[in-house]
Amino acid sequence: MERYWQQLLDSNQIVLIDGATGTELQRRGVPMDKVAWSGAAVLTHPDIVRETHEDYIRAGANVITTNTFGSTRQMLGPAGYGDQVEVVHRAAVSLARQACDNAAEKGVAVAGSISTEPPAFDRGAFLSPDEELLAYQEAAGLLADAGVDLIALEMINETVHAARAMQAALETNLPVWLGVGCKKSGDGRIVSFDHLDLELATVLDALIPMGPTVVNIMHSEIAAIPEAIKLVRERWSGPIGVYPESGYFKKPNWKFVDVISPADLVTEALGWVAAGARLLGGCCGTNPDHIKALQAAMPELRAAMGARG
Ligand SMILES: [Zn+2]
């Protein structure tokens, strides 16, 4: 059990998370499945997955994320990998652990990613509520059994499916990182990343009481993040993380258009840290250079922390 990230937080240090996993695999040549996105890449391209993890560790990440965002039975089943859900989860954790063995000097934790995405990102294609909960329990149980250090719920953008995933994650008794996505609506409200009629505040009010260990503002629009941090702080006194997206998604591929430069990410991150964020990384569109830049700027980031305590 790797708790170095918790020691960093406990001593008011900054924790570096990795950058994108799925879109970075795409950038390195792994084809994205129309139904399960990067969900089966650990079977088809294990070396690229391992190397990507290693590059993030060498860039300075304290936490790397398994390539299991698209690997619940809900996504893998309709993609034709229904009989390989277990082997995918075990392979994903094994590749992350191998990367730690190969590249880590100290205490890199492995976060097991779970999303509530439906197959092909089609909201009409969710499993029935009972089957869906079982799919999250299966994924969380496999990740825990394979030895992840925490569960990272990612792209949590509403409250119904999210509550099922949260329940499944909490049942492992591992730390649960709640990752919410947001953007700014046309009229300036901070809303869910892909449900523009749903306020981020509503998502937070529904899920924070369930008991996460960390609240991450992730796969979010950079312009929305300062206000999103305020909304989280009003409701949550525990650790807050930020790992934004940059570019845009055109199913099933990421478009690396106007991706924020590593230097600009550092500039933004100085403000997030001053506002209270303690975990930093990148989501879709980012790569190891972004993490390297955050690591290189650690003295400035630490100094910015003091700006508001
Ligand atoms: Zn993302």
Tell me how far apart the alpha carbons of residues 248 and 258 are, in angstroms, rounded to a whole number. Answer: 9
What are the φ/ψ torsions at residue 305 (nearest 5 degrees)?
-60, -40
What percentage of residues in the chain have a pLDDT greater than 90?
96
Is residue 288 predicted with pLDDT exceeding 60?
yes
CA of 30 to the centre of ligand 1 (A): 16
From the list 36, 38, 27, the residue with the least C-alpha distance to 255 is: 27
From the list 273, 221, 223, the residue with the least C-alpha distance to 248 is: 221
Find residue 249's DSSP bridge partners: 254
* Other beta carbons less than 10 A from residue 10's beta carbon: 10
CA of 249 to the centre of ligand 1 (A): 9
CA of 283 to the centre of ligand 1 (A): 4
CA of 282 to the centre of ligand 1 (A): 8
Q: Which pLDDT value is given to residue 70?
A: 97
CA of 257 to the centre of ligand 1 (A): 14
Structure tokens at 66: 């398994």
CA of 21 to the centre of ligand 1 (A): 8
CA of 152 to the centre of ligand 1 (A): 12
pTM for this structure?
0.97
CA of 189 to the centre of ligand 1 (A): 21
Q: Which pLDDT value is given to residue 106?
A: 79
Q: Which pLDDT value is given to residue 96?
A: 98
Under CATH, what is the fold of the domain 4-305? TIM Barrel (3.20.20)
97 and 53 in contact (C-beta within 8 Å)? no
CA of 25 to the centre of ligand 1 (A): 12
CA of 71 to the centre of ligand 1 (A): 15
CA of 244 to the centre of ligand 1 (A): 7
The pLDDT tens digits of the residues spanning 217-253 come to 999 999 999 999 999 999 999 999 999 999 999 999 9
Q: Which pLDDT value is given to residue 138?
A: 98
CA of 242 to the centre of ligand 1 (A): 12
Is residue 1 predicted with pLDDT exceeding 70?
no
From the list 266, 253, 178, 177, the residue with the least C-alpha distance to 222 is: 266
Residue 185, amino acid: S
CA of 220 to the centre of ligand 1 (A): 8
Report domain extents, the chain.
4-305
Residues with CB under 5 A from ligand 1 (ion): 219, 245, 283-284
100 and 54 in contact (C-beta within 8 Å)? no
Residue 309 pLDDT grade (very low, low, confident, very high; cuts 50, 70, 90): very low
From the list 54, 10, 13, 7, the residue with the least C-alpha distance to 278 is: 13
CA of 292 to the centre of ligand 1 (A): 18
Among 143-157, 197-211, 224-238, 293-307, where is mean pLDDT lowest? 293-307
CA of 219 to the centre of ligand 1 (A): 4
Can you spell out the DSSP letters for 274-294?
Answer: HTT--EE---TT--HHHHHHH
Is residue 119 predicted with pLDDT exceeding 70?
yes
**Mean pLDDT, residues 34-46 taken together:** 97
Residue 150, SS3? strand
Report the mean per-residue pLDDT for the chain. 96
Residue 261 pLDDT grade (very low, low, confident, very high; cuts 50, 70, 90): very high
From the list 282, 4, 24, the residue with the least C-alpha distance to 154 is: 282
* Other beta carbons less than 10 A from residue 140's beta carbon: 27
